[in-house]
Amino acid sequence: MDFNYWLERFLTHLYVGKNASPLTLQAYRTDILQYLSLEEKQSEGMQLPDHRSLRRYLAWLKQRELSRRSIARKLSATRSFLFFLHKEGQIESGRWAAVSRPKLQKKLPRFLYRHEVNALLEAPDGKTDLGFRDRAILELLYSSGMRVSELINLKLQSLQLDQRLIRVTGKGNKERIVPVGTVATGIISEYLEKFRPALASRNKEERVYDDLFLNRWGNPLSDRGVRYIFRKYILQVSHKEDITPHSLRHSFATHLLEGGADLRVVQELLGHVSISNTQIYTHITRERLSEVYHAAFPRN
């Protein structure tokens, strides 16, 4: 069997049938090629895979002391590929489901308290082109709860600022409409009027982009650029560890629930397919309630 051929067929199936993103496809390709390479070496030539080969792969991953999450991801990708081969009639049905993934310890998302968010949003110098752009980025991330990947893909035509709405393309190329707060709407409007044209004029090739956020050279801002901007300001206002731009998304959801928002509404705003992904924020708010209670109640 030409496994490389069937791997490409499988990735095409994920892209066309499942709307998998390029990053997801790359991760699947890397994990499955790792499995195939290992099996070829251990079996002195690639044999038809079965559950025993999957167990060997699992043991090898554990020996490398990878995190449980990484092992679970690699095993899931490989098992999906084997199911695809079986569906296409290339291999017999195997007991792949019997090879259990390592249990994942659920970690509570890292978030910022409201005073920390306020300090972060006030950190950029709003008198400069880049400073005001940075303020607009941070305000929008917090006000909408969108992911960094969604933010850098925003186009000018994505905005409906007169209605305080933005059209966002999330995972699986699924679109959703998210509301934006009054403060963020005002800052984005000012950025578009006064500061984005100045950034666009810096493009030496005189190329015209319709991306909402541009870098210092007038090109579309990258994922790495947003993370650099966030890290620059978060280090000024917080000493918490493991705080990333995604923490603003966590803060957005946590603060909504603390304010009484319905869980289903928060699910829609975040673009979660399953409400189970949203329910983790209820644990955070309970933890916060307990923290406030023990700090304030006089008979502890």
Question: Which residues are catalytically annotated?
Answer: 147, 171, 246, 249, 272, 281
Distance CA 27, CA 82 (A): 16
Task: Name the burial class of residue 59, with classes exposed (0-12), middle (13-18) and buried (19+) by CB atoms within 10 angstroms of its CB.
Answer: exposed
Residue 291 carries which DSSP code? H
> Taken in order 39, 30, 8, 19, is the CA torsion positive or negative?
positive
In sequence order, the β-bridge partners of residue 86 are none
In sequence order, the β-bridge partners of residue 168 are 176
- Cα-flanking dihedrals φ and ψ of residue 46, to 5°? -65, 125
Distance CA 217, CA 152 (A): 16
Residue 156 carries which DSSP code? G
**Nearest Cα to Cα of residue 53 among 62, 66, 45, 42:** 42
- Cα-flanking dihedrals φ and ψ of residue 240, to 5°? -65, 145
Query: Per this entry, what is the length of the chain?
Result: 300
> 211 near 191, Cβ under 8 Å?
no
CA distances from 28 to 20, 24, 74, 238, 266 (A): 10, 6, 8, 36, 30
